[in-house]
Amino acid sequence: MENKRKPYQLVSREWKQSDTVIELKNTRIGAGSFSVIAGPCAVENEDQIFTICEFLSKFQIKLLRGGAYKPRTSPYSFQGLKKEGLKLLRQAADKYEMEVVTEVMDTNLVDEVAEYADVLQVGTRNMQNYQLLRALSKINKPVLLKRGMSSTLEEWLLAAEYILSGGNNNVILCERGIRTFETATRNTLDLSMVPLVKSLSHLPIIVDPSQGTGLRDLITPMSLASIAAGADGLILEVHNHPDEAMSDGDQSLYFDQFSDLMKKVQNTSEFFGKTVDFESEKVLR
């Protein structure tokens, strides 16, 4: 591996040896910090997002996730609240001093999403949407780049290279599972990407065990495994009523599961020498 000439440059360790740290208003991603991004799969209504944010604020969670524009396999599925969802995310985040991480699905939505979000997410289906990557290379906000559901590591790093080569160095990689023939899990979470990305690139990498497994009971063990593998953070789906969620309810954590997980994440991160960007102890002790 070491000797093969790499097709990417700016994302490589050879180009930049020190870890890239993503600086946000209230927190940072990378640099020995372990980050938790949490929230519902989709923003559904005002009550839902404020209820979830209030819950997350007990842990001083800094990063709120939530889909406003939702890429859905069927045109007949709930497609998100769109601009209304962005506004709700912003209001809820502002009230609870959080920052918004949300998906941008298309070049012509970049300006709108960038107006409300602090971190723009590229979903798995758009990892090789090069026009979108180029558009995101021109904004001055961080990009969370999910791995394509059947992409190789090299393709993923080249997708990040599109963003860096256009001038935006603030890219966070996110392993979210790849498609395999295994049907017991929704995807196969490929944690080996964590140390491999760390060795090949200076970019931070986080893990999405919700999408990666599709089963809420696997989220805690896979979250701890992600920490042990060296990840810089997690992105988690949590919902006040998972059983009534408009999308992906099976993989959304119940509030009490989330509380238990945060305590374990904090302890495990500290064991592995990282500080967490939230606080589980006040609530739990």
Q: For its own copies, which stretch binds (CB under 8 A), given 42-50, 52-60, 105-113, 251-259?
A: 105-113
Is 31 near its own copies (CB under 8 A)? no
How many Cβ atoms are within 10 Å of 12's Cβ, its own excluded? 17
Instruction: Tell me the β-bridge partners of 234.
Output: 36, 207
Give the number of other Cβ atoms within 10 Å of residue 17's Cβ: 8
CB-CB contact of 217 with 210 (8 Å): no
As a whole number of angstroms, the distance between CA 278 and CA 56 comes to: 10
Beta bridge partners of 189: none
For its own copies, the closer of residues 58 and 264 by Cβ is 264
Contact flag: residue 132 with its own copies (CB under 8 A) = yes
Judged by DSSP in three states, 265 sits in helix
Q: C-alpha distances in angstroms, 134 versus 139, 150, 164, 193? A: 9, 21, 9, 24
181 counts as binding its own copies under rule CB under 8 A: yes
Sole binder of its own copies in the list 150, 244, 281, 284 (CB under 8 A): 150
Residue whose C-alpha is closest to residue 123's, from 40, 204, 211: 211
Q: Rule CB under 8 A: which of 250-279 touch its own copies?
A: 268, 271-272
The piece of 28-36, 70-78, 92-100, 254-262 that touches its own copies (CB under 8 A) is: 70-78
Q: For residues 193 and 81, give the distance between their C-alpha atoms in angstroms, rounded to a whole number.
A: 33
Q: Which is nearer to its own copies, 46 or 106 (CB)?
A: 106
Q: Provide the minimum distance between the beta carbon of 95 and its own copies in the complex, in angstroms, as a whole number.
A: 30
# of chain residues touching its own copies (CB under 8 A): 66
Q: Where along the sequence are the contacts to its own copies (CB under 8 A)? A: 1, 7-8, 71-76, 105-109, 125-126, 128-132, 149-150, 152-155, 158, 161-162, 165-166, 178-185, 188-192, 194-196, 199, 212-213, 215, 217-218, 221-222, 224-230, 268, 271-272
